[in-house]
A and B are shown apart, each in its own frame.
Chain A
Amino acid sequence: MSAIRDFIGLVGDGVKANQTLWLLVFGFALFPIFSYFADLPFWNDVAMRIMLLGMAAMGLNLVLGYGGMVSFGHAAFIGIGAYCVGISQFYGISNGWAHLGFSIVTCGLAGLVIGYLALRTSGIYFIMITLAFAQMLFFLFVSLEAYGGDDGMSVDRGEFGFIDLYDPLRLYFLIWCALALVSLALMFIVRSRFGVTLRAIKSNESRIEAMGLSPLRFKMVGYVISAVICGIAGTLFASWQEYVSPDIMHWTRSGELMIIIILGGLATLAGPLLGAIVFLLLEESLPMLLGAVAPAYAENWMIIFGPLLIMVVLFGRGGLTGIIDRLSGTRGNADHKAGPR
Chain B
Amino acid sequence: MKKVFMIAAMATAVAMAPANAETVKIGYMTTLSGGAGIIGKQMQNAVELALEHKGGKLGGMDAEVIFVDDQRKPDVAKQLANRLVKSDRVDVVAGVIWSNLLMAIHKPVTRADTLLISSNAGPSPIAGEECHENFFSMSWQNDQTPEAMGKYMQDAGIKSVYLMAPNYQAGKDMLSGFKRYYTGEIAGEVYTKLGQSDFQAELSALRAVAPETTMVFQPGGMGINFVKQWKQAGMDGVSKLYQVFTVDGVSLPALKETALGILGTQSWSPDLDNDINKKFVADYKAKFGGYPSFYAAQAYDTIMAVDHAITTSGSKDTDKMRAALAKGNIPTTRGVLKMNSNHFPIQNFYLRDTVLDADGVVTSKVLSTVFTDHADSYAASCKF
Give residues in A with beta carbon < 8 Å to B: 24, 27, 38-43, 45-46, 49, 142-143, 145, 148-154, 237, 241-243, 245, 247-248, 274, 277-278, 281, 283-285, 287-288, 298-302
Of A24, A277, A284, A302, chain B has the most CB atoms within 10 Å of the CB of A284
Q: Scan residues 98-128 of chain B and give those whose CB is less than 8 A from a CB of chain A.
A: 99-100, 103-104, 106-108, 123, 125
**Known interface pairs A42-B83, A245-B103. Does A287 touch B74 (Cβ–Cβ under 8 Å)?**
no
Query: Smallest CB–CB gap between A149 and chain B, Å?
Result: 4
**Known interface pairs A40-B9, A150-B168, A284-B8. Does A299 touch B69 (Cβ–Cβ under 8 Å)?**
yes
In the complex, whether B167 has a CB less than 8 A from a CB of chain A is yes
Tell me whether A152 and B13 are in contact (CB under 8 A): no
A248 to B78, CA, bound (A): 13
Query: Smallest CB–CB gap between A333 and chain B, Å?
Result: 14
Partner of A248, one of B9, B74, B87, B130: B74
Query: Smallest CB–CB gap between A37 and chain B, Å?
Result: 11
* Binary per-residue interface labels of chain B (1-24) against chain A in the complex, 1 for a CB within 8 Å, 0 otherwise: 110110011011101000000000
* Binary per-residue interface labels of chain B (29-64) against chain A in the complex, 1 for a CB within 8 Å, 0 otherwise: 000110001001100000000000000000000000
| Residue of A whose beta carbon sits closest to that of B173 | A151
A207 to B312, CA, bound (A): 80
Number of A-B contacts (CB under 8 A): 112
Tell me whether A241 and B11 are in contact (CB under 8 A): no
Tell me whether B87 and A42 are in contact (CB under 8 A): yes
Tell me whether A288 and B13 are in contact (CB under 8 A): no
A302 to B33, CA, bound (A): 8
Cβ–Cβ < 8 Å partners of B86 in chain A: 41-42, 45
**Known interface pairs A42-B87, A142-B168, A151-B170. Does A241 touch B74 (Cβ–Cβ under 8 Å)?**
yes
Cβ–Cβ < 8 Å partners of B189 in chain A: none
**Known interface pairs A287-B69, A299-B33. Does A154 touch B106 (Cβ–Cβ under 8 Å)?**
yes
Cβ–Cβ < 8 Å partners of B1 in chain A: 24, 274, 277-278
| Residue of B whose beta carbon sits closest to that of A35 | B9
Tell me whether B107 and A149 are in contact (CB under 8 A): no
Tell me whether B33 and A281 are in contact (CB under 8 A): no
Cβ–Cβ < 8 Å partners of A245 in chain B: 74, 100, 103-104
User: Can you offer 21 A-B residue contacts whose CB atoms are under 8 A?
Assistant: A27-B2, A40-B9, A42-B82, A45-B79, A149-B169, A149-B172, A150-B100, A151-B100, A151-B123, A151-B169, A152-B104, A154-B107, A242-B78, A243-B78, A243-B104, A247-B100, A248-B74, A277-B1, A285-B11, A298-B32, A299-B33
